[in-house]
Amino acid sequence: MSDWKSLEVFGLAKAEKQAWLLDELNRLTLHHQAHCAPYANLLAGQGQQARVAESLDAVPFVAARLFKMLCLSSTQPEDVFKTLTSSGTTSQVKSQIVLDRDTAALQSKVLVSLLSSFTGKARRPILIIDHDGLTGDKAGFSARGAGVQGLSFLGRDHTYALNSDMTPNWPVIDEFIAKYANAPVLIFGFTFMVWQHFIEPLIASDRSNLLPQALLFHSGGWKKLQDQAVSNDAFKTTVRQALGEGVAVHNFYGMVEQIGSVFVECEQGHLHAPSYADVIIRDQETLEVKNIGESGLIQVLSFIPKSYPGHSILTEDLGRLLGEGDCPCGRKGRYFEVLGRLPKTEVRGCSDVF
Amino acid sequence: MSSNIQLWAGSPDYLQWSRTQIMPFSEKRVQFLVRLSEVLLSGHYSAALTALGFWLRESQLRQWQQEYANDDKVILAPVGRVFIVSPSNVEGLFAYSWALSYLMGNQTVVRVSEQLTDDQRALFTLLESLDVQTAGLSEQAFISYDKRSDITQKLSHWCQLRMLWGSDQSIESIRQMPLPAQAQEWVFPDRYSVSVLHLTEADIPRIPKLAEGFARDVSTYQQQACASPKWVLWYQTDKTLQQQFWQAVDACLVGAFPANERLVASQYLCALGGVKVFYGNIKVIEASSILGGDQHLKGVVGQSQCSDLATITAQLPNHIQSVTAFGLDRAAKVALMTRSNVRQFAQMGHALNFDKVWDGIDLTTILSKKVRL
Ligand SMILES: [Zn+2]
């Protein structure tokens, strides 16, 4: 089997990709079955033991919420390098993702290879729309911190744009702008933070056309912006108004349970599955596989997770499969869009007044 | 500290209410509840509120009145000032404990969650309009407030009885606030409930009816009430009958639970060692003992096989509340309760029917005092 590094990020045709990814995933299923007892139980309890999947959609999946209810780990305690937690609000139970050194390293390497197919090999100066101080604490490593750290490998001259109270750090921002106004730079942040703590204040302060050669990566969901009726198009238009007409804006979709394999939006506005990962849309009632054009729950597949059984996860996000191998941008593989979260069934249970 | 108190119904000056001479079953209060019941039964309200209306029907109230009639040895009197903290997971619950407190002649402050459900809104609107007509709620208040507020502390000093319904965590948190020595406290913490079923060939004709009842017990409140059965303990029952039962239950639960909830719940129980034995509108996971009791799962029921009563009681957790039972005689029930903490039995289909004896406690008794003559 060829090493992932030899694969072209968006260059595998359907059959080659099936062959490569399926083999990786089947190996991971067996690995986790042997090293994670709850995962082995889960397969056995569902009648899926000792089965080698013959197609990607036959790879057993784990419901994303299980990572919040159980510690699913295939790593010996002494080999745990760090534990990632989702950045949910404090009232929510957080996901716990156990990483060993190899998996953590693979996550960053894959992420860099994936994103640099958009940015080019040269390391650009990077403006991070967050505050410094997210990546320190290993034990309580947050997904936000991990995202920032993952992206930081792509850039140089890391500059944090915000103060710890989330207000723009103007002196730092202005210095960055002065230094790199005519250079290709990278900007990264979580969608809502980019909007609220960077773009809106920039516009309010009458700054415009500041970093015309920037490439902005942003991620983290549209929920809060949808509440403010900001669409992806409006977001892009406003970003370009503030930073420059030629600015490239790429949203990406990924989850804390599968850091490293992200689905980046192309110039057509489509989220693309890279060679190392894939996406399957399932009917939200029957869980049957859906076809191109249809919407349902998003299942994500990734060859990265070796330290925990997260190589095939059924998310609680809804999406629509848009096509495979034929996006006008030229990238191969599947492309899709995210439609939002599965409507929450009313929270009752332990929630009570106090 | 600002309290952000919201008053949903009743009167706002509860901390200044003066002593009254209202006695249990005062005619004015009975009439208020009768009127409330009549409106709730008018057909314009949800199933949950209609059930409340039925529970408060006049014949029922009069029956209680007789049951608690004074004799020449003791006279029933109110406790006085009652503070009820109600949970949000069973949104109608506050109304039941409040109605009993009211009926027993108490001044009552009820705290509900800040996020009102549609049913709660409808009920408060109705209570307000009845209050305008009758002034029946002049010594009652339904409020909500921010949990960081100091009002819990104030009301804990004000009351003579504090009644807490909710999760263990929230009860322990409220208990951090001291209660004066002269006040009583009753708590209704997290509980777990199961079903114990004993079916024989002779019961086959009854399976559809039993299944319908079981389906009602699990679908009401989406299995999230303490009394909702989460596990079925099969007592000396043939597996083919179990399968028939699940098929009949399944037919009653079309669309009752979202697919993703069923998936999450069943995967969780499988990960803990269960095995899926029935897959449909509800999923059934078999294991040798109860699993996952600390999670709030939806759309899944566990089951285990029990050849004798001792294997049943060995499985029941300490916080067991209700056993929805079929095929158990009195002796079997006594055997179960003496070997476990079972607090109540219910018939199939009636697991969530509120009763004034709840969780092993006679609420009318604790909401009143018996004054010896
Ligand atoms: Zn494309």
Residue A288 lies in a domain: yes
Q: What is the pLDDT of residue B198?
A: 98
Question: HSE-up of A339 (CA within 13 Å, CB side)?
Answer: 17
Q: What is the pLDDT of residue A350?
A: 29
pLDDT band at A139 (very low <50, low <70, confident <90, very high): very low
Using CB atoms and an 8 Å cut-off, which of residues 52-91 of chain B contact chain A? 85-90
Q: Which residues of B touch A66 (CB under 8 A)?
A: 264, 267-268, 271
Hey, is A41 helix, strand or coil?
Answer: helix
Q: What is the pLDDT of residue B108?
A: 97
- Per-residue pLDDT, averaged over A26-48, amounts to 96
Q: What is the pLDDT of residue B130?
A: 96
Q: Which residues contact B93 (CB under 8 A, 6 or more apart)?
A: B86, B87, B165, B354
Q: What is the pLDDT of residue A210?
A: 83
- Per-residue pLDDT, averaged over A34-60, amounts to 92
Residue B74 has pLDDT above 90, yes or no: yes
Residue A351 lies in a domain: no
Query: Are the beta carbons of A45 and B261 separated by less than 8 Å?
Result: no
Which of A7-16, A80-89, B274-283 has the highest average model confidence (pLDDT)?
B274-283
Q: What is the pLDDT of residue B26?
A: 96
- Percent of all residues in chain A with a pLDDT value above 70, rounded to a whole number: 92
The pLDDT tens digits of the residues spanning B252-288 come to 999 999 999 999 999 999 999 999 999 999 999 999 9
B66 to chain A, closest Cα gap in Å: 36
Task: Give CA B74 to chain center in angstroms.
Answer: 30
The pLDDT tens digits of the residues spanning A174-187 come to 999 999 988 999 99
Which of A144-158, B216-230, B305-319 has the highest average model confidence (pLDDT)?
B305-319
Q: What is the pLDDT of residue A223?
A: 81
What is the average pLDDT value for chain A, to the nearest integer?
A: 88
Residue A234 lies in a domain: yes
- CA A112, A306, A49, A46 torsion: positive or negative? negative
> Among the listed ranges A284-293, A345-354, B171-180, which one has the minimum average pLDDT value?
A345-354
Q: What is the pLDDT of residue A33?
A: 95
Q: What is the pLDDT of residue A260?
A: 85
Q: What is the pLDDT of residue A92?
A: 60
- Percent of all residues in chain B with a pLDDT value above 70, rounded to a whole number: 98
User: Structure pTM?
Assistant: 0.90
- Give me the domain span that covers residue A117: 4-341
Q: Which residues of B touch A308 (CB under 8 A)?
A: none
Q: What is the pLDDT of residue B293?
A: 87
- Per-residue pLDDT, averaged over A58-83, amounts to 94
Gap between the Cα atoms of B161 and B158, Å rounded: 9
Query: Are the beta carbons of A297 and B264 separated by less than 8 Å?
Result: no
Tokens representing residue A68 in the block = 């919040």
Q: Assess B20–A contact: CB distance below 8 Å, yes or no.
A: no
- Per-residue pLDDT, averaged over B64-80, amounts to 93
Q: What is the pLDDT of residue A280?
A: 98
Q: What is the pLDDT of residue B247?
A: 97
More confident residue, B164 or A227: B164
Pairs of CB atoms within 8 A across A/B? 108
Query: Are the beta carbons of B224 and A348 separated by less than 8 Å?
Result: yes
Q: What is the pLDDT of residue B161?
A: 97
CATH number of the domain within which A16 lies = 3.40.50.12780
CA of A9 to the centre of ligand 1 (A): 13
**Cα torsion for A281, A286, A287, A288, to the nearest 10°?**
-70
Q: What is the pLDDT of residue B149?
A: 82
Q: What is the pLDDT of residue A221?
A: 77
- Percent of all residues in chain B with a pLDDT value above 90, rounded to a whole number: 85
Residue A89 has pLDDT above 70, yes or no: no
Query: Are the beta carbons of B270 and A345 separated by less than 8 Å?
Result: no
Query: Are the beta carbons of B88 and A348 separated by less than 8 Å?
Result: yes
Q: Which residues of A touch B273 (CB under 8 A)?
A: 41, 45
A226 to chain B, closest Cα gap in Å: 23
**Strand A295-302 to A312-324 pairing:** antiparallel
Query: Are the beta carbons of B267 and A350 separated by less than 8 Å?
Result: no
Residue A347 lies in a domain: no
pLDDT band at A134 (very low <50, low <70, confident <90, very high): low
More confident residue, A221 or B59: B59
Residue A206 lies in a domain: yes
Residue A352 has pLDDT above 50, yes or no: no
- Per-residue pLDDT, averaged over B113-123, amounts to 89
Question: Residue ranges of the alpha helices (H) in A120-266?
Answer: 143-152, 170-180, 191-194, 200-204, 223-227, 232-243
The burial class, CB within 10 Å (0-12 / 13-18 / 19+), for A172 is: middle
- Per-residue pLDDT, averaged over A88-102, amounts to 75
Q: Which residues of B touch A42 (CB under 8 A)?
A: 267, 270-271
Q: Assess B274–A contact: CB distance below 8 Å, yes or no.
A: yes
Residue A75 lies in a domain: yes
Total domains in the fold of chain A: 1
Query: Are the beta carbons of A45 and B271 separated by less than 8 Å?
Result: yes
Residue A136 lies in a domain: yes
Residue A104 lies in a domain: yes
Pick among B153, B270, B294, B295 to test the A interface (most A CBs inside 10 A): B270
Residue A353 has pLDDT above 50, yes or no: no
Query: Are the beta carbons of B169 and A350 separated by less than 8 Å?
Result: yes
Residue B20 has pLDDT above 90, yes or no: no
Count CB neighbours of B176 within 10 A. Answer: 8
Q: Which amino acid is at A193?
A: M
Q: Which residues contact A151 (CB under 8 A, 6 or more apart)?
A: A111, A115, A126, A128, A186, A188, A217
- Percent of all residues in chain A with a pLDDT value above 90, rounded to a whole number: 66
Domains in chain B: ranges and CATH: 6-190 (3.40.605.10), 192-347 (3.40.309.10)
Q: Which residues of A touch B261 (CB under 8 A)?
A: 345
Query: Are the beta carbons of B88 and A286 separated by less than 8 Å?
Result: no
Q: Which residues of A touch B222 (CB under 8 A)?
A: 345-346, 348
Residue A1 has pLDDT above 90, yes or no: no
> Among the listed ranges A40-54, A316-330, B125-139, B319-333, which one has the minimum average pLDDT value?
A40-54
Which of B174, B222, B261 faces A354 most closely, judged by CB atoms? B174
B256 to chain A, closest Cα gap in Å: 11
- CA B335, B340, B344, B348 torsion: positive or negative? negative
**Phi/psi at A27 (nearest 5 deg)?**
-65, -40
Q: What is the pLDDT of residue A141?
A: 58
Q: What is the pLDDT of residue A344?
A: 72
Query: Are the beta carbons of A353 and B112 separated by less than 8 Å?
Result: yes
Query: Are the beta carbons of A353 and B89 separated by less than 8 Å?
Result: no
The pLDDT tens digits of the residues spanning A268-296 come to 999 999 999 999 999 999 999 999 999 99
Count CB neighbours of A236 within 10 A. Answer: 18
Q: Assess B166–A contact: CB distance below 8 Å, yes or no.
A: yes
Q: What is the pLDDT of residue B70?
A: 86
Q: What is the pLDDT of residue B219?
A: 92
Gap between the Cα atoms of B117 and B128, Å rounded: 17
The pLDDT tens digits of the residues spanning B30-51 come to 999 999 999 999 989 998 899 9
